[in-house]
Copies of this chain bind each other. A is one copy, B any other.
Amino acid sequence: MIDCIFCKIVKKIIPAKILFESENSIAFPDISPTAPTHILFIPKKHIESLDKLSIDDEKIIGKLMIEISEFARSQSLEKNGYRIVNNMGKDAGQTVFHIHFHLLAGREFNWPPG
């Protein structure tokens, strides 16, 4: 997607601090962090949102979740815990329309989640 800011990060047209990269996905810090660790994990494939997943994306999203889990463990985030959030659409406050999962850690999180 030519006008997608996250696709431009994937293609390294826009610089970002890449914290994780695989054939499947890429991760970089949220520009407005809300926790000591606040990282966005995105598939390299342009998928607009959770609502736009197709059955063909099962492997991409399954792998992405495992990559988040492994990355968190590589940073010892599993010791105290972490929260994963995906915002789909207006009410959830989705602002970039390339599916992304927030990995939040480093503090205690409240309930409800927003």
Which residues of A come within 8 Å of B, CB atoms? 34-35, 50-51, 53-55, 57-63, 65-66, 68-69, 72-73, 78-94, 102, 104-114
Would A109 and B82 count as touching, CB distance under 8 A?
Answer: no
Q: Which residues of B contact A34 (CB under 8 A)?
A: 111-113
Interchain CA distance A4-B35 in the complex, whole Å: 31
Would B114 and A112 count as touching, CB distance under 8 A?
Answer: yes
Q: Which residues of B contact A112 (CB under 8 A)?
A: 34-35, 104, 114
Would B51 and A62 count as touching, CB distance under 8 A?
Answer: no
Q: When the two chains form the complex, which single residue of B62, B82, B108 contacts A62, counting CB atoms closer than 8 Å?
A: B62
Interchain CA distance A72-B35 in the complex, whole Å: 28
Q: A58-B66, A66-B58, A109-B114 are in contact. Are A87 and B93 (CB under 8 A)?
A: no
